[in-house]
Amino acid sequence: MLLAIPSIVDKAASPDEAWRHLWSRVGARWNSASEVLRSDVNRETKLIVAQLREVFAEAPPPSNLQLLYFGLFTGVNPDTSEQVAGYYVSGTTRAVPLVDSSAELSGGVLDYLPENKYLWSPILQRIKAASLANEFQHDEYDYALMLCTASILSFFAVSQLDMRCRVVVGFDSGDAVELSGLLPGEPHV
């Protein structure tokens, strides 16, 4: 499934279309996450766009930005001590080869690190809650569904901001997915 994410987002004209395509492929396996399925991904993407505008207003990306990295991690709510889905944006002005692991972006590669880099996504929080409530499918939700959903949100948010750079979404502790820097619907050459 993770290998299909770049083609799902590249071929879709909207976040909603990518979401429907994802669920048509794997929805039956993730039927206990039906609340997540009913999410309004277009609305969720607009929420990320608004947050990115705030981040970029406070810390404008450099004109030579090559790649935006959307990091995922498990955070902890300080008030409740419950796990939450952590999500943030950073980037690099350096030329880096195709990224399939977050480790490839360590060691100072990420040089665009806005102070206010953290993003909030209700859908990612619902996925985290579903993973904690379903021990049998915890890894599928907390890994595959989390990465797929964050990829759709991140790719289309960057596209809606008309930014032309590579987009990588990954777990700080491991795997990453690189998505095209093309806007949805643009032809591949």
- Per the domain annotation, does 90 fall within a domain? yes
The boundaries of the domain holding residue 86 are 2-179
Here the tokens at position 121 are 């996504």
- Are the CB atoms for 31 and 48 separated by under 8 Å? no
Q: Would residue 189 count as lying in a domain?
A: no
In a domain, 59, yes or no: yes
Q: Cα–chain-centroid distance for residue 35?
A: 19
Share of the chain above pLDDT 70, in %: 86
Q: Name residue, tokens 């030329």.
A: 95
Per-residue pLDDT band for 138 (boundaries 50, 70, 90) equals confident
Mean pLDDT in residue range 103-110: 88
Amino acid identity, position 159: S
pLDDT at residue number 143? 84
Mean pLDDT along residues 94-114: 90
Q: What are the φ and ψ backbone dihedral angles of 24, each rounded to 5 degrees? A: -70, -25
In a domain, 137, yes or no: yes
185 occurs within a structural domain: no
Residue 20 belongs to some domain of the structure: yes
Q: Which pLDDT band holds residue 103 (cuts at 50, 70, 90)?
A: confident
Asked if residue 188 belongs to a domain, the reply is no
The better pLDDT of the pair 47, 129 is held by 47
The pLDDT-based confidence of 161 (bands split at 50, 70, 90) is very high
| pLDDT tens by residue, 41-72 | 999 999 999 999 999 999 999 999 999 999 99
Residue 187: which pLDDT band, with cuts at 50, 70 and 90?
A: very low
Task: Please give the pLDDT value at position 141.
Answer: 77
- Asked if residue 113 belongs to a domain, the reply is yes
Q: What is the total count of domains within the chain?
A: 1
Distance CA 72, CA 153 (A): 12
HSE (CB half, 13 Å, CA atoms) of 83?
15
Residues with Cβ within 8 Å of 68's Cβ and at least 6 positions away in sequence, in order, are 61, 89, 90, 91, 112, 154, 158, 163, 165, 166, 167, 168
